[in-house]
Structure 1
Amino acid sequence: MNFTRTLFPLSMLLLSGCVVGPDYQKPDTALPVKFSESKAASAENVTLNPWWESFRDRRLNDLVYQGLAENLTVRQAMERIEAAEANVIVAGAGSLPSIGASAAGSVSGQDGSYLRRSPGGGGGHSESKSMNAGLSASWLLDFFGQYRRSKEAANASLDAAYDDVNVARLAYLSDLVSSYVNARYYQEALALNRKNLQSRRETLKLTNEIKEAGAASSLDVLQSEGLVNQTLADLPALETGFHQSANHIATLLGVPASTITSSLIKGSAQPMPRYATRTGIPADLIRNRPDIRAAERRLHALTAQIGVAESQLYPSIELGGSIGVARNFNAVTGSLSSWSFGPSLSLPIFNGGALKAQVKIARSEAEQQYLTWKSTVLNAVEEVENAQTALIRDGQTVAALRKVVQSYEQTLNLARESYRGGASTILDVLDAERNVASARLSLAAAIRQLARDYVALNVAIGGGSEIGATTIASK
């Protein structure tokens, strides 16, 4: 009676074809309604926004699109999609019938004087030939959704692989544009130092003229020479910075270092963003950031793996059958055929708690991935907040430094005129020279930082992560 009570519910469960394990629910987390320094207005789909074009630099645009199809990190991520697609096929294959065929043949014989000679005088030799062939089939009935959950997990992992390509593409955009900004900064710094060198040489010439007139000392001349030599000493480091940035750009494009250096030597203005960036609201990041989407898809995959682990706790039924044919060419009967068909039931009775432990492991891994997803979301919000704050403040710094440069340039002109007239010393001129040089370089560095802030903000909101996806996927 107890056996009947147990068997009947089990048979109903098998016939219902249920799927064990939790059904996936998209995660949610509390986010502010807006970023601290922007309006509470949702942004459009920024994943197709070519934000780097706001620099209005054709050379930069050409480099970006050239590298979208050639960057090795992006191409590696594309290859991982191939493996993920194959895993989907593997996961789904288990729920389909499996059919196999086999065939074998053999020839055997004996030689020896003790063998009875045949009536025809064949001598001591005996030979036998045989052949057999078979066809087998099996089908594991997926009553508890083991393979359905496996395929669900594989499809979610495939989606994550596609998002990983966008993550790689976004990292490429950040690295390439930032490296280009650095290269142009070093060129601007070189130009400014050469300009400062020319100015300081003029000051040295002026000092020598005044010394010849008896109004300046040898100390004044030595101080002017020292400033000239200091400027000459600063040039090599800036040239090294330019070449390193150009070499890194070449590597990002998938070509040997220094390949594109010659095309960048012709200077260009420092990149300056021309348009403001609409950051949207924090909730937009869940849609636009590929790393957040990838983390969410991996959570889906691990949630489905809970069902795979739970399905191992229940019985499994497999339908199997075979057909075989055997023929012995020396036998009177000729051939023999056989067949078999029937189900087999497997019950997990005692396994030391291993199967239940696997379920706990699967649930723990899913919970860990949820925490990873939540951490990814919060980090994304922080990145946007930091980049936006830096972009606003560094923009104010650039505006202030432009005025500082103008003031120091006027001060230098006045100091030189005063020095010619004998109303001031060479130290006043040298101080003015230093102030002008320092202010110009500070302005160039601030412009570089402003451009890098603009890059960081657009990358933080996921801008441009899907540009080039169709083109690359078709290759």
Structure 2
Amino acid sequence: MKPTLYTAAPLAMMLILSGCMVGPDMQAPETPLPTKFSEGGKVTDGDVTAAAWWNAFSDPRLNHLITEGMSKNLTVLQALEAIEQARQGVDIAGAGSLPSITGSASENLSKSNGVNATAQRSTTNGGLSAAWILDLFGQYRRAKESANATLDASYAGADVARLTVISNVATYYVNARYYQQLLAIARENLKSRRDTLALTQAQLDAGAASRLNVVQADGLVNSTLSTIPGLETNFRQQVNHLSTLLGVPAPTLLADMQRSGPQPVARDRIKAGIPADLLRNRPDVRKAERQLAAAVANIGVAKAKLYPSIQLSGSVSVLHLASSPLTGNGASWSFGPSLQLPIFDGGALQANVKSSEAAARAAYLAWKASVLQAVEDTENALVAYNRDRATVSALRASVKNYQEALNLSMTNYKNGASSLLDVLDAQRSVDTAQQSLAAAIRQSALDYIALNVAVGGGYAVGQDKAGE
């Protein structure tokens, strides 16, 4: 039957209304930011997410471990699965506004014997039913908008996981090399103190030294020996941390790491850019912004439920009956709209709207907090790293001075011009200065790592950002 003006007009109005969407549209969130960091410049660094800043350590082993971590870390792999879940969530959300078609079929055989015996009867049924909920006020479009924002947040979450892995691998590697350096210092000092003990024992045998001198020298040897087991424990614990991050057995990595290497020293002066760069480069800030977008879209979903909904539904059914003496076919169809109008629900729908609005406000505050935290992280790391070079330089000079003092005191002790106490004091000073220098080098490396992580650098290395 050809539609008349009276039947076509309501359908046209439905289609017009289906273009409406209630609820607020997402606007880019804003918060006041300084034009520069307290010890930074006013020039943007642009996109630093693909900058492999760890290359500044010139350590191929560290480069390999970071590459392995980004591809094999279990937290990163879980984050990638979360992306797949969110991607399916987009399809699920979008399916609500599409027509649904369901098919059915059945075959039934029946026969009865006895007084009321009947012939065998075969009944075949088949049908199709279709339904389409008109998205008059954008409930399903807002739901899909929220799902897409959640998908974006999942991508950012994977970037957070990658950046965290890079930070942790680099940190544990630096710590492992630090403890190896302390072990090397302890073993070198142990050799020096054993030489001093042997010299003192020889002087005692020659009558040129007292038993007290020997006991003091031996005590310093044992004191040095006592530090070595703890340092070895600390080294192995850092390697175990690395093994967990990489998802490999600890003995495998331990054998490689026991081939000692120098402490990592960053040969680079990093530029922190400007605070506004963090909005683009920090994955946790982007994740919070996308979570805000999802929360804003959910307000539209909640508001759309306050309005009427219309469903167009129809069905076609075909019947075939085969029996003796009756055989025949039949068909039926139906079509029509149905209207659902919320009248009284005890305030649940309005409460749902208010709850969604509160969730959006909380998401904005979470985004703002992530921005402030990003600025603080960068400021703290920048201040620390800018002062590390001066500390390391002064301690290198200190080690050189105390080493010279030790050599002079040892020469004087051999010549009888100074006491053993002078030598032992000089050895302690050298030991302390060497440990302080190793700690300063480690701290400089850790601050360099923290600064690059704070500005959001490196997590997109080897990633196809366009595909996200």
TM-score of the pair, normalised by structure 2: 0.94
Shift of 1:50: 0.3
Amino acid at match of 1:31: L
Ranges in structure 1 where 5+ consecutive residues have no aligned partner: 1-7, 116-123
Is 1:38 matched with 2:40? Answer: yes
Check the 8 A contact 2:14/2:134 in 1, yes or no.
Answer: no
1:295 counterpart (280, 284, 288): 288
**Range with greater deviation from structure 2 (250-259 or 95-104):** 250-259
The separation in 1 between residues aligned to 2:398 and 2:391, in whole angstroms, is 10
Return the offset for 1:14. Answer: 6.0
- CA offset at residue 78 of structure 1? 0.7
SS at 2:376 equivalent: helix
Structure 1 residue aligned with 2:24: 22
The alignment-based identity, stated in percent, is: 54
Cα shift at 1:109 = 2.5
Does the Cα contact within 8 Å between 1:160 and 1:297 map onto a contact in 2?
Answer: yes
* 1:432 aligned partner: 426
Structure 1 counterpart of 2:161, one-letter code: A
| Most deviating of 248-257 and 348-357 | 248-257
Measure the CA separation in 2 of the matches of 1:255 and 1:406.
41
Q: Give the TM-score normalised by structure 1.
A: 0.93
Which of residues 413, 418, 434 in structure 1 aligns to 2:412? 418
Following superposition of structure 1 onto structure 2, how do residues 390-401 of structure 1 map, counting pairs within 5 Å?
390-401=384-395
Q: CA deviation at 1:461?
A: 0.4
Displacement after TM superposition at 1:214 (Å)? 1.9
1:407 aligns with 2:401: yes
Task: Give the one of 138, 149, 159 matched to 1:145.
Answer: 138
Match of residue 225 from structure 1: 218
Separation in 1, partners of 2:299, 2:389:
51
SS at match of 2:311: strand
1:353 aligned to 2:353?
no
Correspondent of 1:304 among 297, 302, 324: 297
* Correspondence list, 1:13-412, <5 A: 15=17, 17-112=19-114, 114-115=115-116, 126-330=119-323, 332=326, 334-412=328-406
Superposition CA RMSD, Å = 1.9
Aligned counterparts of 1:79 and 1:63: Cα–Cα separation in 2: 23
| SS of match in other structure, 1:326 | strand
The CA deviation at 1:465 is: 1.5
* Aligned-partner SS, 1:64: helix
Could you tell me which residue of structure 2 aligns to residue 442 of structure 1? 436
**Within 1, Cα distance between the matches of 2:209 and 2:236?**
42
CA distance in 1, matches of 2:345, 2:107: 42
- TM-superposed deviation, 1:424: 2.3
Give the letter aligned to residue 57 of structure 1: D
1:455 to 449, 452, 461: 449
Q: Which runs of 5+ in 2 are unaligned?
A: 1-9
Q: How far apart in 1 are the matches of 2:386 and 2:19? A: 59
Q: Give the letter for the 2:235 counterpart.
A: F
CA shift, 1:17, in A, is: 2.6
Q: Is the deviation greater in 243-252 or in 367-376?
A: 243-252
Tell me the distance in 1 between the aligned counterparts of 2:321 and 2:334.
Answer: 21
Superposed, which structure 2 residues align to 1:4-15 within 5 Å? Answer: 15=17
Aligned-pair CA distance for 1:244: 1.7
> Could you say what secondary structure the match of 1:328 adopts?
strand
Q: CA separation in 1, counterparts of 2:417 and 2:456?
A: 59
Residue type matched to 2:372 in 1? Answer: L
Contact 2:18–2:134 (8 Å) recurs in 1: no
Please tell me whether the aligned partners of residues 243 and 258 of structure 1 are also in contact (alpha carbons under 8 angstroms). no
Structure 2 match to 1:5: none
Mapped contact 2:83–2:151 kept (Cα < 8 A): yes
- 1:121 — aligned with what? none
Residue-pair matches, total: 456
Give the stretch that moved more between structures: 298-307 or 390-399: 390-399
Contact 1:15 1:143 in 2 (8 A): yes
Q: Kindly provide the CA deviation profile for residues 365-404 of structure 1, in whole angstroms up to 9, marking residues without a partner as x.
A: 0110000000000001111111111112232221111111
